[in-house]
Amino acid sequence: MWGGGAVAGAKTHYSVDLSGVASVTGSAAVALDELRRSVSSTARALDAALVALAKSAVSTTLEACSLERRASGEASVTLGGQLLLASQEAVVTYVGADDEMAQATRASDNRAVYNPARFGSGWSWN
């Protein structure tokens, strides 16, 4: 099950333990749901604080220092979900064509069933 045929100069392996992936992605889904709930609840608490401080200059500072974080927190959940979906799509593709993937996949090859460049497109990192 593990490892594919050797092709000189290329990374050729492509093997997936379906039960194992289902277990990992299932647990990741639980964690992502909790992350989403917690990030949303934190943002709601922030909104409540901004209303409570509306007449104070502190609210301006609070809004300024939290704006970016709020966006990055919400983005982290969204991107985490995208990664989860991407891995699931790749697994489904693998189930349909494991032989081809095991034999011929290369990270830099356009024929690769899953192109790593797809991950996180549209996002920037520092």
Partner 1 sequence: MELISVASLPTVDVAVETTRAAAAEMRTHAESVLQAGDDLRAVWNGLREVYDAPETLTLTARMADVTEASADFGRTFRRISGTLGDLAEALAQAEARLRALRLEVDQLRRSVLAYRAEAAAELLEGEWGATVWGPGQYEWNASLLSERERVRRLIEQAHDDADRDLRAIGSATGLVVAGFAAPLNPLARSWQSRHNDFVSSLGTHVLERLLAMGSTRQMEQLLARHPDWVDLLHAHPPSPDVIARWWAGIGTDGADALVAGAAAIIGSLGGVPARSRVEANRGLAISRLAALQKELDLLERDGPLGPDPRVRMSDDTDRVIDKHLRRLAALQLEMDYLGRVRSGDVKLYLYRPGHGEIIEMFGDPETAQSIITFMPGTNTTMESFYTSGKVLGISALTRWQVERSGETASVAGFVVKQGPFPQLDFHLLSTGPQNNDMAESLGASYARFAGELRVVAPETPVISVEHSFGSAVGGVAETLGAKFHSRLLLAGIGMTAEYAPDPKTKKYSMQASNDINKSFDGAQLGNWGYAVAPTRANSVIPLESGLPGTPEWVALVSPISPPIAIAADFASGLEQHNRIISADEVENGTVLNEIADQLSTATAGGRP
Number of residues forming the site for partner 1 (CB under 8 A): 93
Which residues from 74-93 bind partner 1, rule CB under 8 A? 74-81, 83-88, 90-92
**Taking the CB of residue 22, how many other CB atoms lie within 10 A of it?**
12
Candidates 5, 6, 7, 95; binder of partner 1 (CB under 8 A) is 95
Identity (one letter) of the amino acid at 29? A
Burial of 3 (C-beta count, 10 Å sphere; 0-12/13-18/19+) = exposed
First to last CA, the chain: 38
Q: Quick check: 1 binds partner 1 (CB under 8 A)?
A: yes
**Residues 103-122 contacting partner 1, CB under 8 A:** 105-107, 112, 114-116, 119-120
Touching partner 1, residues 11-70 (CB under 8 A) = 11, 13-46, 48-49, 51-53, 55-58, 61-62, 64-66, 68-70
Q: Which of 5, 6, 7, 96 binds partner 1 (CB under 8 A)?
A: 96
Nearby residues of 21 by Cβ (< 8 Å), 6 or more positions away: 87, 91
CB of 8 to partner 1, least distance (A): 16
Query: What span, in angstroms and rounded, lies between the C-alpha atoms of 9 and 107?
Result: 11
